[in-house]
Structure 1
Amino acid sequence: MTSDAAASLAVPTDADLPPLALDIDGTLTTPDHTVDPRVFDVLPDWPAPIVLATGKSFPYPIALCHFIGIPERVVAENGGVVCVDERVRLTGDADRVAAATDAFLEAGGDLCWGEADTVNRWRETEVAASRDADADLLRAVAEEFDLSFIDTGYAYHLTDPAVSKGAALREAAAVLDREASEFVAVGDSMNDASTFEVAREGYAVANADETAREAADVVLDEGYMDGTLTALQRVIEQADR
């Protein structure tokens, strides 16, 4: 799908379309890391539930839902926070993550976000470090505290290994009286692999990393929002058959 064709995607609001699990960074954004304005045209018309599943802290996807005009159904912090239909649940061992972060800083590490650190200021279940941070030290700390080290391509994350977007999608689906296996998922990073594994179908956009590509059912030729729109067009076409 070309950029022009993607812009003309028409969502049939009366069709029996599946619910969606959509990553944000690299999936609903431009190559410049800004939200692609086409999300405001397409997502409000989707007739089935949409869950935004991201590595960002809780306020970011909530705000995006608000501005798009869709219900606040989100998986944040790589699965550490689940919010669906006004039910909010935190998962994972946040105390262990906090202890690991302290150890990282005491060893001379720096999260590299600056004094305000708006990336972590509202984070509740994990910690994220800039990709300018010392990755080797972060990996060592993760191993010491039995945490997962996730490189999303945008940041490094330390999180409880029991936490994942896929597990969180199962929980979100249950609140919606759905099965995770009904969802179509679109993403670009290793943190989306678990979502692909539980969803009915997983699409990796062209800019996806190797882990996401291997886990996806379909690897698209288009990247970023162009790829997402191509995936949605394919879903619409499948529903028409």
Structure 2
Amino acid sequence: MNRPLALDIDGTLTRSNGTVDPRIFDVLRDWGAPVVLATGKSFPYPVALCHFVGIPETVVAENGGVVYAADEVTVTGDRARAQAVAEEFVARGGDLGWGDADTTNRWRETEIAVHIESDEALLRAVADEFGMEVVDTGYAYHVKAPGVTKGKGLKAVCETLSLDPETFVAIGDSENDVSTFELVDESYAVANADDRARAAAATVLDESYSDGTLSVLESLR
């Protein structure tokens, strides 16, 4: 039987242009072991991806802020304080960068995401004043409560499903995957991963993006 998986989405299941690699669908659908999508995206995104892939909706969203497994939803974090950081950031001349509709944050329950081209120094300064953290995923800056991580989210999933986190294989590409890598027995950073992910992973792949992930999954099958 295949080992359970903890998979990041952006930069890991996607191609370099940001689109989900359709080759992933059949592989995950036929995996035959639990698959957890662990992402910085808001809760609806990984749920929808699970739905369209055709696998059980088991997710760690918002960098660990929302966990969903076996029809149980657990929410941690401090959305109100994250929103306060965002408002103060804008008041001091910052720009969240998503436009008026802001679909990036519209359904976000525990944190606020800020465009990667926004003023990082100002954002970090404001977040620090409010006792919040900023995580750089390479795609956005995430303002979140300290201690909320993907690794803790995956541990919660394992407790719900009576699984051992050490049996998981984790694949990711950025600093928000470090906590997941530290929890599991076998971890991989795709070649496009940032320095923190590369340092934390047991193996750094030669292939980038979904090509790297597919190479791991093929070797494990």
Asked if these proteins are the same fold (TM beyond 0.5), I'd say yes
- Give the Å deviation of 1:95: 2.1
2:179 match: 194
Deviations 1:163-214 (A, max 9, x none): 0000000001111110211111000011001000001111000000000000
Identity %: 60
Q: Distance in 2 between matches of 1:41 and 1:135?
A: 38
Q: Distance in 2 between matches of 1:195 and 1:102?
A: 31
In structure 1, give the amino acid aligned to 2:133. S
In structure 1, give the amino acid aligned to 2:127. A
Aligned length in residues: 221
- Give the Å deviation of 1:141: 1.0
1:20 match: 5
Deviations 1:93-125 (A, max 9, x none): 222212212211221211010111000000010
1:119 aligns with 2:104: yes
Q: Distance in 2 between matches of 1:38 and 1:119?
A: 25
Q: Distance in 1 between matches of 2:158 and 2:208?
A: 27
Tell me, what secondary structure is at the counterpart of 2:181? Answer: helix
- Give the Å deviation of 1:148: 1.3
1:13 match: none
Q: Distance in 2 between matches of 1:162 and 1:151?
A: 15
Q: CA RMSD in A?
A: 0.9
What are the equivalent positions in structure 2 for 1:153-232 lying under 5 Å apart?
A: 153-232=138-217
Structure 2 counterpart of 1:104, from 89, 113, 135: 89
Tell me, what secondary structure is at the counterpart of 1:124? Answer: coil
Structure 1 counterpart of 2:134, from 136, 149, 153: 149
2:27 match: 42
- Give the Å deviation of 1:39: 1.2
- Give the Å deviation of 1:41: 1.5
1:132 match: 117
In structure 2, give the amino acid aligned to 1:74. V
Q: Distance in 1 between matches of 2:101 and 2:83?
A: 18
Larger Rg over CA atoms: 1
2:78 match: 93
Deviations 1:20-48 (A, max 9, x none): 00000000001000000011111000111
In structure 2, give the amino acid aligned to 1:181. E
Structure 2 counterpart of 1:82, from 53, 56, 67: 67
Q: Distance in 2 between matches of 1:180 and 1:22?
A: 13
Unaligned runs of 5+ in 2: none
- Give the Å deviation of 1:126: 0.3
In the superposition, the TM-score normalised over structure 2's length comes to 0.98
Deviations 1:1-20 (A, max 9, x none): xxxxxxxxxxxxxxx22110
Q: Distance in 1 between matches of 2:101 and 2:79?
A: 21
- Give the Å deviation of 1:231: 1.3
Q: Distance in 2 between matches of 1:132 and 1:188?
A: 19
- TM superposition outliers: structure 1 runs of 4+ over 4 Å: none
In structure 1, give the amino acid aligned to 2:86. T
Unaligned runs of 5+ in 1: 1-15, 237-241
In structure 2, give the amino acid aligned to 1:40. F
